[in-house]
Chain A
């Protein structure tokens, strides 16, 4: 270990001696040359210290940024992703059941119509062949009245159910948007982890960040995930828009 006093003497002794000699001799030019040299040396040392300090600060800030992004991801976004995927499960489940319900409801209606039409075939053929008994004819007319009523009612219901089946397929869009959001999160998590690994190795690496979401869209709202104020349904949208004059 060098003694601090000795170190100081080694570093500045010669300059100070030259400085005081110049002062004693009244040599102004030599005095100021020595003084300038001294100041420059001091400035350079300060500059080096400052640069090191800035470097430390920068890497600390970067580490903090990566760390806080990871903390965010771990504490908020990952549990959110679980809620999102739960919601997807619910959406697909509901849509599948809704579709199955409608198919199960429509099947018997179509079957009933087909059967009733089939039952009319025989008396109708007898009628066409002019071989129908009068009581059979009366029965056929009553049967025909009932069939026409039932068939139009049943088929309207089937048509309605088909429209509902069509709409139920909207789950694919909604759940797809949510899954895409989770995929984006996984990518972000990957980037943050890679950044962290790099930082641990070299001490510096910037974290990339995703933004601009309002413009691009957030995807469907998820129950249980708090965001900025959202509308609760079409009525809300209509009220908001009519307030805006649309």
Chain B
């Protein structure tokens, strides 16, 4: 069942989206779609069909933190697992993300193992 989860990967760099998509595929998650910032991602999420959001922070248009807040503020999306995957490394930002309700935070550059661990942990906690 869990391998049928539908992922949305949000990052303004197409290379990073491809990397994350490939890694998710390697982990057995075949259903992965992409968006290049919060403004593109939010309508996709609201249309429905996604189970897991992986988002960057620093993006033009709507940054990841705003996307996270928008997701938590939308009753239909409020419970969606959100993993932040970002180079933003300030303690105040991580605290900010935690307070906004992030489920996991992976710092770039990252490893395939870290990504797997965090996803497993989030899914384990949600189950």
Contacts and interface: CB of A to CB of B under 8 A. Distances in A.
A6 interface: no
Given A241-B98, A246-B104, A227 B109 contact: no
Contacts of B91: 228-231, 240
B93 A170 contact: no
Given A166-B22, A215-B66, A234-B110, A246 B103 contact: yes
B58 A218 contact: yes
Interface string A176-204: 11000000000000000000000000000
B108 A231 contact: no
Interface in A220-234: 220-221, 227-231, 233-234
Contacts of A177: 13, 58, 87
Contacts, number: 110
A244 B100 CA distance: 12
Interface residues on A, range: 20 to 34
Interface of B: 11, 13, 15-16, 18-19, 22-23, 26, 57-59, 63-66, 86-96, 98-99, 102-112, 114
19 contacts: A163-B112, A167-B109, A167-B111, A167-B112, A170-B19, A172-B13, A172-B15, A173-B15, A174-B109, A214-B90, A214-B96, A215-B66, A228-B91, A231-B89, A231-B90, A234-B106, A246-B102, A246-B103, A246-B104
Interface of A: 163, 166-167, 169-174, 176-177, 214-221, 227-231, 233-234, 237, 240-241, 244-246
